[in-house]
Amino acid sequence: MNVQKKALHFGLKLLPVGILCSLYLAMTNVNAMKQAGMQAPALLLIFSSIIQIAFIYTLVLSYLGYLLAERTGLLKPFAFTKQETLVTVLVGFGCALVMISDYYLFAPRIAQVQAAYTKESFTLISLLFSMLYGGIIEEIMLRFFFLSLLVLILDMTRGGNRGNKPIPAWFHLLANFIAALIFALGHLPATKMAFGEITSLLLVRTLLLNGVLGFVFGLLYWKKGLQYAMLAHALTHLFNQAIFRFIIL
Residue 249 pLDDT exceeds 60:
yes
Instruction: Summarize the confidence of residues 224-239 as an average pLDDT.
Output: 98
pLDDT above 90 coverage of the chain, percent? 76
Average pLDDT, the chain: 93
Q: Which residues contact 101 (CB under 8 A, 6 or more apart)?
A: 209
In this prediction the pTM is 0.94
Q: How far is CA 83 from CA 79, 90, 99, 120, 239, in A?
A: 12, 11, 25, 36, 20
Percent of the chain that is helix, strand, coil (3-state, to 5): 85, 0, 15
Per DSSP, the three-state class of 2 is coil
Residue 196's pLDDT is 79
pLDDT digits (tens, 9 = 90+) for 82-140: 999 999 999 999 999 999 999 999 999 988 889 889 888 889 999 999 999 999 999 99
Instruction: Summarize the confidence of residues 184-202 as an average pLDDT.
Output: 85
- 10 Å Cβ neighbour count for 133? 24
Torsion of CA 30, 33, 39, 42, to 10 degrees: -10
Residue 1's pLDDT is 67
Q: Where are the domains of the chain?
A: 1-72, 80-248
- 10 Å Cβ neighbour count for 74? 23
